[in-house]
A and B are shown apart, each in its own frame.
Chain A
């Protein structure tokens, strides 16, 4: 019994030590978090000049008013399964090579909203940078991505017959 207690105390001491080391090493990040830098996403907006990071609520507003073209950066198979109604699919890997004519034909000044899967927005950020470099002036990244859209119970559609539904 004494041995079990000793092992448990060692484990707890390791956990406490980890908290202390993490706090000491990441002071600058903690300061930025307290300032509110990472309220929407854990990315540094300064690394993506020209892009705007928007919340699911802002994305929903743009979608409901029809004020923006939505670009889905997920792979084609995943997109066909379900996506935001009206969104166009441009997988980030494909977008790196060439931007399709249908996307290039969109108004350069109008907002584009780019999203990807599960809030993992590296692919949507990369695609958004590519679109921005292509001359689109107002590119917005919906940082919550597809997962947050579904979690919020917002409408989705499928490219497969019979799977269109109003809710996720």
Chain B
């Protein structure tokens, strides 16, 4: 697990930036994203709509907090949990044989498949490094013991 501060800073900026971009692309076209969510055929029309409104802002806020260094580990937990969910969703979608756009980066979409899973796994590694390797904030909790 990477613990070097400079490397973790780069991880925060890269991962946070990607999440801000992905969230903004969806928040700008909420109806398109709602249709993307609906296409996965896991939830109905109402839940797809609610998820499509909230999820992009969760990505934007968690990404921005990571970049800015606010609530770093909380933001890393949100990002990592989202990535685990996205990976599971893509695997289930592939097993079900559905041919849907992943809805990951707004207009830069491609089909939900192995490429998306590998990409998410790469981002999940960064997220877990930040969650587990970042340690608690020295200002509040002193040196990390993990």
Q: Which residues of A contact B (CB under 8 A)?
A: 2-3, 6-11, 13-15, 17-19, 21-23, 25-26, 29-30, 33, 38-39, 41-44, 78, 117-121, 147, 151
Closest Cβ neighbor of B49 among chain A residues: A33
Is the CB–CB distance between B27 and A151 below 8 Å? no
Is the CB–CB distance between A119 and B57 below 8 Å? no
Is the CB–CB distance between B45 and A39 below 8 Å? yes
Is the CB–CB distance between B58 and A15 below 8 Å? yes
Select A11's contact among B39, B45, B46, B77, beta carbons within 8 Å.
Answer: B77
- What are 25 sample pairs from A and B whose C-beta atoms fall under 8 A apart? A7-B73, A7-B74, A9-B74, A10-B77, A11-B77, A15-B58, A18-B54, A18-B61, A19-B54, A22-B56, A22-B57, A25-B57, A26-B30, A29-B31, A33-B46, A38-B45, A39-B45, A42-B34, A42-B35, A42-B52, A44-B31, A117-B99, A119-B38, A119-B39, A119-B41
Closest Cβ neighbor of A41 among chain B residues: B35
Closest Cβ neighbor of A44 among chain B residues: B31
Which residues of chain B come closer than 8 Å to A38, judged between CB atoms?
A: 31, 34, 45, 49
Is chain B's interface secondary structure helix, strand, loop, or mixed overall? helix
Q: Which residues of B contact A (CB under 8 A)?
A: 27, 30-32, 34-36, 38-39, 41, 45-46, 48-49, 52-58, 61-62, 65, 71, 73-75, 77-78, 81, 98-101, 131, 136, 140-141
Question: How many Å from the CB of B86 to the closest CB on chain A?
Answer: 16
In angstroms, Cα B108 to Cα A60, docked, is 34
Is the CB–CB distance between A121 and B74 below 8 Å? no
Known contacts A21-B61, A147-B98, A14 near B35 by CB under 8 Å: no
In angstroms, Cα B98 to Cα A142, docked, is 18
Question: How many Å from the CB of A105 to the closest CB on chain B?
Answer: 30
Is the CB–CB distance between A13 and B57 below 8 Å? no
In angstroms, Cα B38 to Cα A15, docked, is 21
Is the CB–CB distance between A14 and B62 below 8 Å? yes
In angstroms, Cα B131 to Cα A6, docked, is 12
In angstroms, Cα B48 to Cα A99, docked, is 35
